[in-house]
Chain A
């Protein structure tokens, strides 16, 4: 993405500049229109609220983070397994793939209440919602990868009477690694969103505490400054998760760069 250090420096500087500018505009808008704190607090008030609630926030970040990672990891395992089944049978693919798309198109906010009924106000529900949100990019990516093998390479395996399993494990799966990483990256960006949406439904005051439950609680109390602080935390968590996947993929993918 970045060709050299100069470009990294430029990009970081620009991002920080935009952030500072936005905060400045925000602060001035609140000051100019004399907005009440419950409607729009200043950035400094938000920061202070975050600082005061840091213990609660850190605990919530951890809960939401663990739920996101657990959901993403489960989606990687389940998604890869489904993709492997799909790659083995065209009929299975034709029969089941539309339902995987359906899983993606049905709004998660519509499924979440149902899941609460079945699975309760629990960590498990949050993970399940996250899995549903993360599943499609992985199934779709890995299935494409498993099926996009080079014709000559597949002939080569046929020539030596390679079994279906051997071709899958020695040719198709390594070919699909790049697609898996790409799908996981897309899903990583979605995982935190999925977890927080689920937490909205789990709600505040239950045994589970995450960023989403905190936000619903603070919204009810009109603690707008703390709410915005939690919002920033969730954005940072999403970035961190995406960054981790990116880092893992960069070290892992180095070997997989195509030769031709």
Chain B
């Protein structure tokens, strides 16, 4: 799988602002740099603009001012950017494998000249399904899968195009603690393999520390601080006992509390 790897993009947000039609200012002059292959977590109170930032990065919302520059540039029609939603968002009439194949099928019709053959697509989809631990569930329908398995399918679907950038919007929020930990570790494993650049929105501070290189605190549409996370790689659940983990946790939690006190 490694030889066909796409080069991860670095992302530079320059003075991003988003104002909605109803006058709500969701983002206010946000500038962030995410180096290639880095995982950045966005943490902040509800309604602070984290999801809007993610949607702007995905090209699903356009900024009112400012711009996003990716290097190398990202082409959506080649599947170079992927999005994992809070809900698995699987199509109930498609089997797990066919759900994972969906992006490749859509790309085949939007840019046929770059598309992979049907046979090749199926091979890639089967490989990623086994990477997420679902080699036995290829032909099951979403309703026959547990919540955790559905999320695995959703992540497999996002990674099937080997994107340069992966965006995750509270992907594990609906899962219980044990599944959260398992899926977090799985995501790290996949990152080790593909080395995509990732931006993840989360409410869970431990998850942010475990999974990311840096953590950006967002408040009222602004990027308040970006905290470096020097915990050693490769990481696993065991870093929770590291003293650095505790320090970081306190720091982030204090900053978040400060910000919510100000409100």
List A residues at the B interface (Cβ < 8 Å): 150, 152-153, 155-163, 166, 170-171, 174, 177, 255-260
Q: A256 touching B106 by the CB < 8 A rule? A: no
User: Measured between alpha carbons, how far is A117 from B140 in the docked complex, in Å?
Assistant: 56
> Nearest Cβ in chain A — how far from B31, in angstroms?
24
Q: Of B76, B83, B90, B141, which contacts A255 at CB under 8 A?
A: B141
Contact A171 B81 (CB under 8 A): no
Would you give 19 A-B contacts (Cβ < 8 Å), ordered by A?
Answer: A152-B89, A153-B91, A155-B83, A156-B85, A156-B89, A158-B60, A159-B76, A160-B77, A160-B79, A161-B76, A161-B107, A163-B109, A170-B102, A171-B91, A177-B93, A256-B93, A259-B92, A259-B143, A259-B150
Give Cα A155–Cα B59 distance, bound, in whole angstroms: 10
The prevalent SS among residues of A at the interface is helix
Contact residues in A for B199 (Cβ distance below 8 Å): none
Q: Are B58 and A255 interface neighbours, CB within 8 A?
A: no
Complex contact B79–A152 (CB within 8 A): no
Measured in the bound complex, the distance between the Cα atoms of B60 and A152 in whole Å is 11
Q: Does B142 contact A (CB under 8 A)?
A: yes
Residue contact A161 to B141, C-beta cutoff 8 Å: no
B-side contacts of A259, CB under 8 Å: 90, 92, 141-143, 145, 150
The CA of A168 and the CA of B145, in the complex, are separated in Å by: 26
Binary contact track B104-119/A, C-beta < 8 Å → 1, others 0: 0111011100000000
Report Cα–Cα, A150/B93, bound state, in Å. Answer: 14
- CA separation between A257 and B142, bound complex, in Å? 10
Q: Min CB distance, A224 to chain B, in Å?
A: 52
A163 touches B87 (CB 8 A): no
Instruction: Report the bound CA distance from A158 to B85 in whole Å.
Output: 14
A258 and B83 in contact (CB under 8 A), knowing A159-B59, A171-B91?
no
Given A153-B91, A258-B92, A259-B90; A159-B82 close (CB under 8 Å): yes
- Let me know if B103 is at the binding interface, CB within 8 A: yes
Can you name 10 extra interface pairs (CB under 8 A) apart from A155-B85, A258-B92, A259-B145? A152-B87, A156-B83, A156-B85, A156-B102, A160-B107, A161-B107, A171-B91, A257-B92, A259-B90, A260-B87
Q: Is the CB of A159 within 8 A of B60?
A: yes
Q: Which of A171, A257, A259 has the most CB of B within 10 A?
A: A259
- Complex-state Cα separation, A174 to B91, whole angstroms: 9
Chain B residues with CB under 8 A of A152: 85-87, 89
Instruction: Tell me the nearest residue of chain B to A153, going by C-beta.
Output: B89
Contacts of B58 in A (CB 8 A): 155, 159
Instruction: Tell me, in angstroms, the Cα distance from A192 to B191 when the chains sit together.
Output: 61
Does A159 lie within 8 Å of B93, measured CB to CB? no
B253 to chain A, nearest CB (A): 30
Chain B's closest residue to A158 (CB) is B60
A155 to B81, CA, bound (A): 13
Contact A174 B76 (CB under 8 A): no
B18-67, CB < 8 A from A: 55, 58-60
B257, chain A: closest CB distance, angstroms: 31
Closest-by-CB residue of B relative to A157 is B106
Closest to A162 in B: B106
B109–A166 contact, CB under 8 A?
yes
- For A155, the closest partner residue in chain B by CB is B60
Whether B89 pairs with A150 at a CB distance below 8 angstroms is yes
Q: Please give, as numbers and ranges, the residues of chain A lying within 8 Å of B111 by CB-CB distance.
A: 161
A162 in contact with B110 (CB, 8 Å): yes
Could you tell me the distance between the alpha carbons of A259 and B142 in the complex, rounded to whole angstroms? 6
CA distance A155 to B54 in the complex (A): 13
Residues 161-192 of B, flagged 1 when their CB comes within 8 A of A and 0 if not, give 00000000000000000000000000000000
- State which residues 100-156 of B face A: CB under 8 Å: 102-103, 105-107, 109-111, 141-143, 145, 150
Q: Say which residue of A159, A160, A161, A256 sits within 8 Å of B92 (CB atoms).
A: A256
Least Cβ distance of B19 to chain A in Å?
Answer: 20
* Bound Cα distance from A16 to B128, whole angstroms: 58
Q: Hey, which chain B residues are within 8 Å of A257, CB to CB? A: 92, 143
**Nearest 3 A-B pairs (CB), nearest first?**
A259-B142, A160-B106, A161-B110
List chain B residues, Cβ under 8 A from A256. 92-93
- For the complex, give the distance between the alpha carbons of A239 and B176 in Å: 48
* Shortest CB distance A99–B (Å): 31
Q: Is the CB of B106 within 8 A of A161?
A: yes
Tell me, rounded to whole Å, the shortest Cβ–Cβ distance linking A171 to chain B.
Answer: 7
Q: Which residues of A contact B59 (CB under 8 A)?
A: 159
Would B110 and A163 count as touching, CB distance under 8 A?
Answer: yes
Give Cα A171 to B83, complex, Å.
Answer: 17
- For residue B89, which residues in chain A have a CB less than 8 angstroms away from its CB? 150, 152-153, 156
Q: Point out the residues of chain B lying under 8 angstroms from A255, CB to CB.
A: 93, 141
Asked if residues B143 and A160 are in contact (CB atoms below 8 Å), the reply is no
Q: Nearest-CB distance from B141 to chain A (Å)?
A: 7
* B residues less than 8 Å from A166 (CB atoms): 106, 109-110
